[in-house]
Chain A
Amino acid sequence: MRTEILEKIKEKYGSRATDSSFECGLYSRDLGPVPGLLVNPLFNTTPDLVVRPSHAEEVAEILRTAYGSGIPVTPRAGASTVYFDSVPIKGGIVMDVNLLRGIVELDEEGMTVKVRSATTWSELEGYLNRKGLACKSYPSSAPAATVGGWLCMMGYGLGSLKYGSMLSQIKSIEVVLPAGEIRTLTSETEPSLDWFAGSEGTLGVVTEVEIEVRRLTAMEHFMLLLADESELLNVMQAFMNASVTPYNLHFADQHCLRAMDKLGFGLEGVDSGCTLGIDYEGTKEELEQARKTVEAITSENEKVTRLEDEVAELEWDGRFKALKLKRGGPGVLGAEVWLPVKELAGYLAEVQTMGPKYHVDLFSYGHVVTPEYITVMTTFYADETRTIPYIINLSLVKKIQDVGYRHGGCPYGVGLWNTPYLNRIYESARLAELRKRKQQLDPKGLMNPGKVYRPPFLMQPLTYGLGMDVMAGVQKLVGRGGSR
């Protein structure tokens, strides 16, 4: 039955559907560098069929058919996530939504734009900039990430500190619910559009998004060098409390800077210390005020040096290239932690005591995304060509998350691999509410199964934690991370 249905979809969508193992294999992974040895015995990540609908009606038809036949469907857009968010774990259909791209309409008076969901953030920003407008915020994966994909993830990135989460900027969305019903949702409808923020493709497929835009304004970029991380938090908070809110506020610790330097990406005139980058956009008056703020904060603190403006501009130009740190690996593992800003100093100090214990260099960098929270990425090199040591290295990802947890943090995003941390990510009442929504919209559990709501059997927090701790113990005794 399942085979026949899949065959029918394949036939109907012709060159926009495939079950070839050559193609399907490529849809069995995202960025997550988890070895097959670990994944394959547990999950069926290879789709039976990949299909590329080009409009909402086609999405609806495919979902209706799949729903009626009990076939799981995993939406996939930019696939720029790492937790197997857009990778199926029970085979079935991968719905590659990338044909749903382009601008639907711009409302310059209302300062909103309606886009098809798989438009990338770079495409949208490029379009708006030509009209004298800009996105309020976007992820630092903008060339890859889609508007719908970011909505379905956490939606914090560049610009969030000033303009709030992506969700707060959305006016309406068009979605196709799991059984194939096409709906336009706002904050007033039932369900409300906010159900879809962070839903990771588990509640349906978003086909259009109407989002607020801003006027394109001039920018100013600043880069400060601090002697070490002890002062970082104070300076950061001084910027957050100043009268002009930065568009983007980000740091890189000294280990990160050193690694970049080794790779030939070092900052001119910097051989030690950590950096704080501050990017402003706004009116002439705001930018003037911003400059004064930077001058005041730097002159007050002798541990802070302001780097040349060109250094700050180069850093901004390279804002989508943080991944270049990977050149030193070439394998990299890491954890992204949603951390209270006030805990940053403590977190970084503890992470640094952890590195030598486990024989790895840990590099951290991050973006302040709300007045209270910062997303911190802590990474280390690991050689993926040496499978067993690499698997042992993976246990350190949990150790980093544990440090984050001790400082009030949790993983940023769930997908599959962060399901063991669900009780850290959500309070129990919130999790119960999310499960209720899932039950209401997708009672058969066919949309992107295995993600977000419950860990799979072998990844229950207790067993998972124990397994990881044992491996981390091995790493401590004999392990080595590092580049090849």
Chain B
Amino acid sequence: MTERNSFFTTLENEALICGRCGCCRSSCPVYKIIGWESAAPRGKISLAKEAFAKGDKSALSDEFVKRVAQCTLCGACASECATCIDTRSLWLELRKRIAGLGKQPAAYDAIRETLLANKNISNFENDERLEWAEDLDEPEVVEPRAGAEVGYFVGCVSSFFPQAAQIPLDMVEILTEAEVDFTTMGADEWCCGFPLISTGFQAEADQFIKHNVEKIKEMDIHTLITGCASCYHVWKHDYQEELGDYQLEILHNTEYLARLVKEGRLELNELEEVVAYHDPCDLGRNSGIYEAPREIIAAIPGVKMVELYHNRADSLCCGGGGNLQSVDAELAEQIAQLRVEEVNASGATILVSACQQCEQMLSTAVRKAELPVRVMDISQLVLEAL
């Protein structure tokens, strides 16, 4: 399956193109929970049309701004759109316009300030980027080093949040086992910029993009892997202009691990588990990567793989995208609950994903629902099978 084409022109034009048919309505996880027309993609686009294409600034109410922020940027609406509007780009542009007018939610300002101050989304200083590696037997293996075959872009969540720190630890172990010549960017890794792009602060995000590209070039890295679906999407799309003709192969961890498995560099042993895979929106629907993770799971002997009711391009969001948690944590949780109902129905004993945000959302929801299901990153599953 390939990535969806984008025909995006301008906010004004796309808002006028929308035919209000509602084909985007039923697949929207936010609409599923809220249920009001103003929460449906077409409702928001109608208001955007009034505000921007027709110049009725009264349409730019606080209620509207709230609805624009209540969106996970999952892209389900873009897949369904009957007029091929790249609604995900439309939401980003809308958030940019709203920020341009200074009408963004207060939570977005906090995100911006943190990022500008720390270069990452946590409250820690960026110098502490490699703190997680202290749990390794040989932490020095991750010290930045120019000219390595592979650069591992760890991402803010995995670097700073204890719940996600297991992911880089597992990845390092796997890469070491496969004898990959890899490195990280250490404190020179800044946030990929997605939290700024998705809150409407594109100009600020551009500084982050510029910085990261400069460092990658300095380190002479030509293959970059990342375990975060959003970092991956941003590197693949928003970094291209800055990268210019610099040769950089950008891979998600799942693509790289699938390659290692295929090349016989990882030998997977038997696991007696029923595994379901949750497609992260930014990796699946928004980047077109569906098969690599499935190939990895299928390569583990003994594993019975089951599909969730909504899968691949139809996958249901975990609720954690688009900075939704920062403005409406309860809504994000309710969306995760919808997904967990599908996990329960699937009979899986392990739920695997390939995005630390999905894992965090789904673990919490699985715990709340008291399901006997382990939620893990694909790297953890691979490590268990090694």
Contact = CB atoms under 8 A, between A and B. Distances in A.
B335 to A, nearest CB: 17
B20 A23 contact: no
Contacts of A143: 23-27, 80, 82
Contacts of A322: 82
Nearest to B309: A130
B239 interface: no
B38 A31 contact: no
Contacts of A79: 20, 22
**Size class of the contact patch on chain B:** 20 to 34
A26 B37 contact: yes
B11 to A, nearest CB: 12
B83 A326 contact: yes
Contacts of B83: 321, 323-324, 326-327
Contacts of B46: 26, 29
A446 to B, nearest CB: 23
B13 interface: yes
Residues of B contacting A: mostly: loop
Nearest to B81: A321
Contact of A31 (B19, B35, B61, B84): B19
Nearest to A22: B63
A218 B60 CA distance: 49
A31 B21 CA distance: 6
Contact of B19 (A52, A78, A122, A323): A323
Most buried by A among B13, B19, B21: B21
A37 B318 CA distance: 43
A264 interface: yes
Contact of A330 (B16, B27, B37, B61): B16
Given A26-B46, A326-B83, A330-B16, A320 B23 contact: yes
A123 B26 CA distance: 9
Contacts of B23: 80, 141, 143-144, 320
B35 A98 contact: yes
Interface in B345-375: none
Given A122-B26, A385-B53, A23 B38 contact: yes
Contacts of A385: 16, 53-54
Contacts of B38: 22-23, 26
Contacts of B84: 265, 321, 324, 327
Interface in A89-117: 96, 98-99
Interface residues of A, number: 41
A126 B309 CA distance: 9
Interface string B1-39: 000000100000100110111111111000000011110
A30 interface: yes
A331 interface: yes
B288 interface: no
A445 interface: no
Given A144-B21, A320-B23, A329-B17, A23 B80 contact: no
Interface in A323-339: 323-324, 326-327, 329-332
A385 B63 CA distance: 25
B147 interface: no
Give chain A's interface secondary structure class. Answer: loop
A6 to B, nearest CB: 17
Nearest to B79: A143
Given A23-B38, A98-B35, A320-B82, A120 B21 contact: no
A29 B20 contact: yes
B61 A27 contact: no
Contacts of B27: 143
Contacts of A144: 21-23, 25-26, 82
Contacts of B13: 330
A80 B379 CA distance: 44
A23 B37 contact: yes
Contacts of B16: 329-331, 384-385
B43 interface: yes
Nearest to B27: A143
A99 B35 contact: yes
Contact of A324 (B26, B54, B82, B314): B82
B78 to A, nearest CB: 12
Contact of B36 (A18, A31, A327): A18
B352 to A, nearest CB: 21
A329 B13 CA distance: 9
Contact of B26 (A50, A120, A130): A120
B7 A327 contact: yes
**Most chain B CB neighbours (cut-off 10 Å) among A22, A27, A52, A329:** A22
A384 to B, nearest CB: 7
A78 B22 contact: yes
B64 A22 contact: yes
Interface of A: 16, 18, 20, 22-23, 26-27, 29-31, 50, 52, 78-80, 96, 98-99, 120, 122-123, 126, 130, 141, 143-144, 264-265, 320-324, 326-327, 329-332, 384-385
Given A143-B26, A265-B84, A324-B83, 8 more contacts: A22-B38, A22-B63, A26-B47, A78-B25, A79-B22, A144-B21, A320-B80, A384-B16
Interface of B: 7, 13, 16-17, 19-27, 35-38, 43, 46-47, 53-54, 61, 63-64, 80, 82-84, 309, 314
19 contacts: A16-B35, A22-B63, A22-B64, A26-B36, A26-B38, A78-B25, A80-B21, A80-B23, A123-B26, A126-B314, A141-B82, A143-B80, A144-B82, A264-B7, A320-B23, A324-B84, A326-B19, A327-B83, A331-B16
